[in-house]
A and B are shown apart, each in its own frame.
Chain A
């Protein structure tokens, strides 16, 4: 696998750092090279939170990058904040619960894609697994890790929560799967649409 660069951005509390960390751990356990670095500013909670994730079969150089292969922006502010990381090779994904204003969207991208992650979380599952749907979507879009190792990493990360409430396990695994499928389907639709 050649280098994949992913930028995940959302409002503080949407859990983008948590899923970037789980994805990085999954890649690490697959024996891949990986670097995850949070953007960290002076705010503890407020503001847009961005996670920079790189996965590769080869040694990775600089911990940051200017242009991402995939950007996932989960709020309107996150769209505006991450547009700068997009170029002609970037797949730019946002939640379809809002329509980003054209001036916020990146001037250049390979494709802009809307995913109904928030809606599915709210209607079919539970708001608190919203970020796991997104994690599944990242896998569906990039194949950056296998579905199995993502499951394992999730299991490892949330072990104590799952122990306390086994229903959470099912909820999370469902979210992961729904996210993956949703992303794959959108990609296919996108291809058809583009064609």
Chain B
């Protein structure tokens, strides 16, 4: 049997991984794994995994890692990075952890220009707890806690994380949004988000649009359509802030 090549920094004893079929996490984690390999930072990278589906990756990498509480990965990474600046600290979280319960940590870490990298996976719902409405749920989108569709009149509009982070960070911060449907771009942005920390430039934030067919209750075609059409028309892809120059490979 021919298996696709796994990044060297993935931890084989914990594979195959525990994500649902059709979930985008595996793609984000692959981009992260390849970026860590290519930047040759496996031995000094510390991953922090938030609660939510993100935590299923707590032993995913052949890197030291800490699974934290819901929303609290950011302060744990801040504590580690400030204590051991030589380590590369990467927080991995979902939209609920980052934009809702952990938003005060995200905002203040960004304002303080903490030299850490945060990768936030946006799949427009709370996956692990069974598909509730998230800050990123699209208007009209049905979830377990918005069964008639999200009504912006009563629950507001989707949170645009990178736009908000870009507005409050320093010039040397890195802020971008990628998607699991454009792998080359995703990997390039992931590398940039890590390089920015390696070069001590400051806060680095990457949101990745991702899929959740289990809770979206979609088939493969519908899943991809929702990602590429519905989500991308609300959440625009690209580098909002980059000290490396846009489009640099």
Physical contact A–B (CB less than 8 Å): no
